[in-house]
Amino acid sequence: MGDMAARSLRADAERSVRAVLEAAERVLAENPGASMEQIAAAAGVARTTVHRRFANRQSLIEALALSAARQLAQAVDDGRPDTAPPLVAMHRITANVLQVKGAWAFALGLPAEPGSEAAVLQQDIDRRCVAVLQRAQADQVIDGAADLEWVRRVYYALIGESLRGNADGADPDALAARIIDTLLRGAGPRA
């Protein structure tokens, strides 16, 4: 088999895995007890294709959680947390994270196995979030006495509540602006 043919087969395999993971997100969000057969049907692939890629339902769910965690880590990266001005980074990261969390709510709601790659990615995201908050604190955008671990938890809660209350699908940029404004200024009167 030629190099091109091998690459083409790999691309097809990646596409079918992506289709299965996307279908798994949709199907399991509606019915967490859905079978591999139901997921295969929703993905438009043969049941044997799913079984060839994933040894069992648990390995499919682990792959789904890992794929979503990687996309979340990429969403953070794309916001340039280490180089963009802190407020710009916070806004971009928030808008990116809203999109990923909106698309992969079931997968990202799964508890990561301790020590798994998904758990390591989540810890890295938490660390990078605090690093951006430290940069914002250094720029006096966040109070110097603020407990940044608490600020991170409040920030995550604001994102979670925004997604829960966003059935109308508000623009991620507008939602991000609202989250950052609430995080930094609260609900007190404006000057």
142 — phi, psi (to 5°)? -120, 140
Mean pLDDT confidence for 85-92: 96
Say yes or no to pLDDT of 28 above 80: yes
Q: Among 99, 180, 112, which residue's Cα sits nearest to residue 141?
A: 180
Q: Where does 1-54 sit in CATH, by number?
A: 1.10.10
Residues of the chain with CATH 1.10.10: 1-54
- Per-residue CA distances from 43 to 14, 20, 153 (Å): 13, 5, 36
Rounded CA gap, 121 and 172, in Å? 23
Mean pLDDT confidence for 80-103: 94
Q: Which region holds residue 169: left if phi is over 0, alpha if psi is between -120 and 50, else beta? A: left
CATH class of 62-191: mainly alpha
Rounded CA gap, 167 and 163, in Å? 8
Rounded CA gap, 1 and 46, in Å? 24
All residues at 6 or more sequence positions from 164 whose CB lies less than 8 Å from its CB, including other chains: none
| Per-residue pLDDT reduced to its tens digit, 1-19 | 667 666 666 667 778 888 9
Residue 188 corresponds to which tokens in the numbers above?
């007190």
Residues 125, 73: contact at Cβ < 8 Å?
A: yes
Residues 172, 95: contact at Cβ < 8 Å?
A: yes
Residues 91, 176: contact at Cβ < 8 Å?
A: yes
0.75 surpassed by pTM = yes
Give the confidence band of 23 by pLDDT, cuts at 50, 70, 90: very high
**Which pLDDT score is estimated for 8?**
66
Residues of the chain with CATH 1.10.357.10: 62-191
